[in-house]
Amino acid sequence: MIDEILVQKMIEDEIHPDYTIFKYYETDPYIFIFWKHKKYDKDDERGKLIGVGPIVFDKSQKNYTILGSGSNNAHYYKHLPDNLFDEYRIINTFESIKAGIVRRKYVNTDDVDRLCQIITNGWASVDFDMYYSKDYDVEIHIIAVLKNKEQQDIIINFWNEIDYQYKVLNDMEILLWKTKDE
């Protein structure tokens, strides 16, 4: 029922040539066609695009629509289950965060944020911060700011466990590598 050649052309022309068909989800009125970056996992921030949703095939109208953030798409999305991408859901545990990093071979900014939340027992805590320095490549490095030495040791131990590089910059800042061997 789906014209995969047409859908792939829509993805390449309207979204980006580096993306491809990833997953289908069929409901009574629609078929949802999800896409992902050809090189990166679905949950890898390097392959994320903001504002573009899935392609939807309307079975009754026999047409395709690319969903986006600029319109009201609730009448489409209400047909999707909440657990559609559960395999990519990361809960705030060291094990879950580690599993995501190991699988995709990359540390997302959200991974560092979640780790710092666990370590400091809070979200939007004044005890941690993160930033990118112009002195380092944002795809390869992130700086975690932790005021407490014990908390710094926890993130350093985590980085040792995943076998990624880090560098203590000063008594509060740790430069963390987001990729291995760079």
Element (H, E) at 174: strand 173-177
Instruction: Name the domain boundary from 86, 118, 151.
Output: 86
Instruction: Name the domain boundary from 47, 66, 86.
Output: 86
Residue 116 lies in domain: 94-177
Residue 182 forms part of a structural domain: no
What span, in angstroms and rounded, lies between the C-alpha atoms of 14 and 83? 27
Residue 15 forms part of a structural domain: yes
Number of domains in the chain: 2
pLDDT tens profile 95-112: 999 999 999 999 999 999
What span, in angstroms and rounded, lies between the C-alpha atoms of 96 and 99? 5
Using DSSP's 3-state secondary structure scheme, residue 168 falls into: strand
pTM of the model: 0.80
Whose CA is closest to 15, among 72, 62, 53?
53
Residue 139 · residue 100 · CB < 8 Å: no
Whose CA is closest to 108, among 135, 86, 130?
130
pLDDT tens profile 32-77: 999 999 999 988 999 988 888 899 999 999 999 999 876 678 888 8
